[in-house]
Structure formats: C-alpha cells, structure tokens
Amino acid sequence: MSTQIRKPFDLVVAVPFAATLVLILVGSVFYPQMLGLDYLSQQLQIAAFLGVIAMGATIVILLGHIDLSVPWVLGGAALISTTLAGTGDPTLTMLAIPAALGFGALIGCLNAVGVVILRIPSMVWTLAMNSILLGSSVLYTGGFNPKGEASGLMSFVATGRVLGVPMAFVLWMGVALVLALVLHRTGFGRYLSAIGYNEKATYLSGVSTPSVLFAAFAIAGVCSALGGVLLAGYANQAYQSMGDPYLLPTIAAVVIGGTSILGGSGGLVGTIGGVFFITLLNSVLSVMQISEAWRNITFGLIILVMLLIQTLRRKEG
C-alpha cells in the first residue's frame, strides 16, 4: 500500500515554489515593484489568510474527502468574533476568538457526522452545510452587513508586524509547524494517508477511522474559522460573502502543492508552495486587470488539470 505523507524535499513539492519564483521574475518585467520588499511583505500577509485555511483543507483532502463549507465557516467565525468584540464588554471581547474557533470545530464535527455516521459523500454534505450557514447568516443579519468590529488582538494578528515580518505570516507558519509535527510524528498522520488510500483496509487493520475523520474535519473547521478571524481583523469587520473568494483558491493551492485530491498522498509543505503561487498569480491577474470571473475560471482549470495529472499517475502507479 503506497501511502505517504510527502517528504519536505520531494520533487513534486518543489514545483509550486519554482513556479512562484518564475512568476515573480516574469511579473517583475511588467511590474518592477514585485521585487520590492514592501510588495513581497504585503503578499506574505495576504498569503497567510489563504494559507491558514489551506492547512486544514490539506488534512481533509489527504483523507480523500473535501470540505466545501469553507466560505461560511469562515464567514460565520468572522461574524461571531466581530459581534462579540463589538459589544465593548471586556469579557465578551476576550471570548471573541475562542468562540469563533469553537464554532469552526463544531461545524467540522457536524461535517464529520454526515460523512462518518450518515455515510453521505463529503462534497454533498459539506456543500449543504455551507448553504445552511449562509441561510442562517442571512436570517441573523437580515441580509445586511453585520454590525460589530474587530478587537485589538484580532487587528494586531491580522495586520501587525514582528521584526518587520507580518504577524499573520508568523501565525500561519506556527499553524503549519504544529500540523506538520502532528502529521510526521504521530500515528494520526500515518492514518490520514492510509485512510485516503484505502479506508476499509485501514479500518480492518484496527485503526479507529471514525475518530481520525472527526479529528480531521474538526481541524479543518478550526483553520477555516481562524482564516475568518484574520480576515475580520484585516477588514475591521465581517461582511456578507467574505469567504466566497477563498473556496476555489484553497483547493487549487492544495492540489498544486502535490496533495492528491483522491487522497492517500501529499503534505503541508507543498500546500505552502501552492498558496504562494496562487497568491502571486492572483496579484498578477489583478495588476493585469483580469476580472474576478476569469480568475475563477483560471483556478478551476488549474484544479481540473491537476486532477487529471494525479489520476493518470495513480493509474500508472
């Protein structure tokens, strides 16, 4: 059974980093500021928002599943955190971030209930959850942008600097490091790829596959919620559909990084490279004044091409 969490220096993992470097060099010909420290620092900050979400998405995709509830887990977490922080009550403000992360973990567990217990395909169940969260948000806000604001801590984490490095990037790397240790140093990491390759065989070998799936979806939910907290801190508010632009880029970043969307192989280092590439590509497309519609088409095509390549590799293997 050829399951694996990819090693940090796997050739497949190096591809998105190399592509990012090429994108910077080519883009700088038309936009010289791309080589400036200010521009690169800004891109690290923006990449962190997508990167935190993509860390959780990688965990779920390693299982051979997918989480399409990202947009409104993100949006719901932003709504909860800004609502609590906007009350002005010190106690509620202090609970803003933990409550948002708890919300993400709860939705992650509900996603696992549908996938593990009810045996509904993750694509269908999580899409339905996303729709339910969307409707709940509209009912709560009346369809208007919610009131509230980010706390000082939320704003600092999203926009602050530590020795000139964006705090959001530091947080992203911290999350990546913790999850990498979990994947490479614990049985949980080995079970993820094993389940993604063959869930039934892994279960018959004595692994509690339901527990692994529940933990994976909970982690993904927390990461999406953390992304929402960061975005709310960056914008100093929550707003309708703030998570919608992150679904396709998140999946694209994971598959570009070499994680098989069919499950069984991949890793976080490649996803980091994928996030860098997607962030820079989005920036270049914006500079070129490419519309949001064409950007979505681009991300969709990237996902389809990578899925085709991975399918062919799996058949050859």
Q: pLDDT of 173-229, one tens digit each?
A: 999 999 999 999 998 988 998 998 889 999 999 999 999 999 999 999 999 999 999
Residue closest to 199 by CA, chosen among 51, 107, 65? 65
Average pLDDT, the chain: 90
pLDDT at 310: 67
For residue 10, what pLDDT band results from cuts at 50, 70 and 90?
A: low
Residues in contact with 245: Cβ distance below 8 Å, sequence separation at least 6, in sequence order: 292
Cα–Cα nearest to 81, from 131, 26, 150, 5: 150
- Judged against a pLDDT cut of 90, whether residue 263 lies above it is answered with no
Q: Would you state the pLDDT for residue 113?
A: 98
- What whole-number distance in Å separates Cα of residue 56 and Cα of residue 45? 18
Residue 290: what pLDDT?
Answer: 81
| Planar angle of CA 145, 146, 150, nearest 5 degrees | 115
Quick one: pLDDT band at residue 316, thresholds 50, 70, 90?
low
Report the C-alpha gap between 166 and 170 in whole angstroms. Answer: 7
How many other C-beta atoms lie within 10 A of the C-beta of residue 302?
21
Question: Tens digits of per-residue pLDDT, 275-307?
Answer: 999 999 888 888 878 888 888 888 888 878 877
Whether 126 shows a pLDDT value over 90: the answer reads: yes
Which neighbouring-strand residues pair with 5?
A: 266
For residues 267 and 6, is the Cβ–Cβ distance under 8 A?
A: yes
pLDDT of residue 73: 97
To the question of pTM greater than 0.85 for the whole model, the response is yes
d(CA 140, CA 38) in angstroms, rounded, equals: 39
Distances 256 to 147, 195, 226, 230 between C-alpha atoms, Å: 37, 21, 22, 24
Q: Write down all domains in the chain, each with its CATH number in brackets.
A: 4-316 (1.10.3470)
What does the pLDDT average to over 113-125?
96
From the centroid of its chain, how far is CA 47? 11
CA angle 45, 50, 52 (to 5 degrees): 90
Rounded to an integer, what distance in angstroms lies between the CA atom of residue 272 and that of residue 182?
16
Which 3 state secondary structure label does DSSP give 242? Answer: coil
Q: Is the Cβ–Cβ distance between 269 and 258 less than 8 Å?
A: no
Q: Where are the alpha helices (DSSP H) in the chain?
A: 11-30, 37-62, 70-85, 90-112, 122-141, 152-159, 167-185, 187-197, 199-204, 209-235, 247-256, 268-287, 292-316
Average pLDDT over residues 100-129: 97
Cα–Cα distance for residue pair 220/122, rounded to 1 Å: 13
pLDDT over 50 (residue 6)? yes
Q: Which of 126-135, 161-170, 216-225, 306-315 has the lowest mean pLDDT?
A: 306-315
Question: Would you state the pLDDT for residue 2?
Answer: 43
What is the per-residue pLDDT across 34-60, written as a single tens digit (0 to 9) for each?
888 899 999 999 999 999 999 999 999
Find the mean pLDDT for residues 150-177: 95
What percent of the chain is predicted at pLDDT more than 90? 63
What whole-number distance in Å separates Cα of residue 308 and Cα of residue 313? 9
Is the distance from CB of 158 to CB of 233 less than 8 angstroms? yes
pLDDT of residue 120 exceeding 90, the answer is yes
Answer with the residue of higher pLDDT: 236 or 315.
236
* Confidence at residue 1, expressed as pLDDT on a 0 to 100 scale: 43
CA distances from 44 to 135, 278, 279 (A): 33, 12, 9
Distances from the Cα of 139 to the Cα of 125, 133, 135, 214, angstroms: 21, 10, 6, 29
Q: According to the model, what pLDDT value does residue 317 have? A: 55
